[in-house]
Amino acid sequence: MANKLDKLKEMTTVVADTGDFNSIKKYQPTDATTNPSLIFKAATEQMEYQSLVEEAIQYGQSKAQDFDSQKGHIIDKLMVNFGCEILKIVPRRVSTEVDARLSFDIQGSIDKGHKLISMYEKAGIDRERILIKLASTWEGIKAAEQLEKEGIHCNMTLMFSMPQAIAAAEVNATLISPFVGRIMDWYKKSENKESYAPAEDPGVKSVTEIFNYYKKFGYNTEIMGASFRNVGEITELAGCDLLTIAPKFLEELQSSEGELPQKLHIEKAKESDIKKLLFDEKSFRFALNDNAMGIEKLAEGIRKFTADLIKLEQFIQEKIQKA
């Protein structure tokens, strides 16, 4: 009997949510995603990746004299280095994140997207294999709109609400990554609950709502559930376009046998009774602000990614000083 990971792969594209190459090789996902937190963990905890760090440092030092001027180049090169290595393993795409400190800077995000794509192309990687990850702020969504027009594909991250999902689809973002587990975290705290049955999990319900909306109205933007807290959340979203899954849950799925029914269906979504919504900047900001969970988790996510990016910069600076 096939294991549940293999069964899931029959109906959903499985993506590895890690910067660890060995885990990617083991579970053979189609795509992989990274973020500052994952890169920080891989770069600081595993010696096998130090050559990628050293190469990034040398690159940054060739671009500027002082560390404050070098660090942006070093981080960009490190992200691209990891992405290039991951693309030697996965057959399709890798997501590379834009600096979270640019979350409210449209032109800064566009410029960073251009730079990352240029670095990948200089490394011999076609832009079709790269997703530029942007925060799902109004500014991030407008940056994605411009980048998509230029043939640069975007993955809208820190996604917690329907207004974000709808606005991203309206600008033809290639992919969105709604954060299932972080949504559940907020509701557990807010409702003082220990847990939810998978079908009643607020994060699962959010992704299901977005899936039904997208398929009902024929959007091309793909949905990739992310940030899971348990395998039940994953299996309840079987049939979603993509799911990005941490190695510990990939292992749990691979080690489990049994039925894995498809829960999300395009045909059922098309039959659902859903009203179409559109957002301009004012209505988007109001709707997001009116969603306490959405606005709080977005802000928290930006802070966390920024903090991990700063820790990565500090790690690199200390490494340079010791050299």
SS3 for 92-147 is CCEEEECCHHHCCCHHHHHHHHHHHHHHHHHCCCCHHHEEEEEECCHHHHHHHHHH
Q: Are 220 and 151 in contact (CB under 8 A)?
A: no
Whole-model pTM: value is: 0.94
pLDDT digits 0-9 by tens, 157-192: 999 999 999 999 999 999 999 999 999 999 999 999
Question: How high is the pLDDT of residue 194?
Answer: 95
Q: CB of 113 within 8 A of CB of 149?
A: no
> Measuring CA to CA, how many Å separate 20 from each of 35, 48, 51?
12, 10, 14
Output the pLDDT for position 47: 81
Q: Tokens in use for 132?
A: 């530029």
Query: What is the structure's pLDDT at 36?
Result: 84
Phi, psi of 243 (to 5 degrees): -135, 130
Residue 83: what residue type?
G
CA distance 148 to 156: 12
- CA 16, 39, 168, 287 torsion-angle sign: positive
DSSP reduced 3-state for 255 = coil
pLDDT of residue 46: 83
Look at the block and give the residue holding tokens 């080690």: 255
- The residues that are catalytic are 133
* Amino acid letter, residue 201: D
pLDDT of residue 165: 98
Q: What pLDDT does 48 receive?
A: 86
- Ranges in the chain, pLDDT < 70: none
